[in-house]
Structure 1
């Protein structure tokens, strides 16, 4: 996924358009659209990450993970350690077979 596609996906999760993200970030809307095909400014990218309340890596990392997995991961990062452990317990209870014998999951 490109940086632009990541921004667009996360913006949609927040119910925002690219224009609204650009306004919140204090940059021009066309700056974000240009990131589809050209290099980007690190400062502007940080502003967009701040506007979306995500880490810059969430915008730049290219991977094969599904949008659903990335959403789960981003939201799990927001939980404190105690709630992360609760989430793991819930996942183990609901999807125990997926965990197999790996106790670190």
Structure 2
């Protein structure tokens, strides 16, 4: 599960709107929205602490989920593009990557 999906799930379980949560932890509604959409935003530690406190969550777990987001700018570009693609486009992109860098995908190819 991604950080954004986890935050959204826990917020909804507590009956909070994005606006209410944003107001409670003093950040913008759009920031909460982007975090929940996993929209290329990496919350800083202060925001993670505020989210953990307000939603009664384990801060260390949020930190671990946050670390799964790759901070490499090139990877973020690919992730944002992939989110805009339909299934056929994503498959085509993966095929291009495998054709170009096949040896890096050997482990994934064996699983298919």
TM-score of the pair, normalised by structure 1: 0.50
The structural deviation recorded for 1:58 is 4.2
Higher normalized helix content (fraction of residues):
2
List alignment gaps of at least 5 residues for structure 2.
66-112
Alpha-carbon distance between aligned partners in 1 of 2:62 and 2:17, rounded to the nearest angstrom: 16
Alpha-carbon distance between aligned partners in 1 of 2:12 and 2:60, rounded to the nearest angstrom: 18
Q: State the Cα RMSD in Å.
A: 1.8
Aligned twin of 1:12: 12
Would the aligned equivalents of 2:25 and 2:51 in 1 still touch at CA under 8 Å? yes
Number of matched residues?
Answer: 62
Structure 1 residue runs of 4 or more that deviate by more than 6 Å after TM superposition: none
TM-score of the pair, normalised by structure 2: 0.47
List alignment gaps of at least 5 residues for structure 1.
63-105
Aligned twin of 2:39: 37
Alpha-carbon distance between aligned partners in 1 of 2:64 and 2:39, rounded to the nearest angstrom: 16
> 1:1-105 maps to which residues of 2 (within 5 A)?
1-35=1-35, 36-38=38-40, 39-61=42-64
Deviations 1:61-93 (A, max 9, x none): 55xxxxxxxxxxxxxxxxxxxxxxxxxxxxxxx
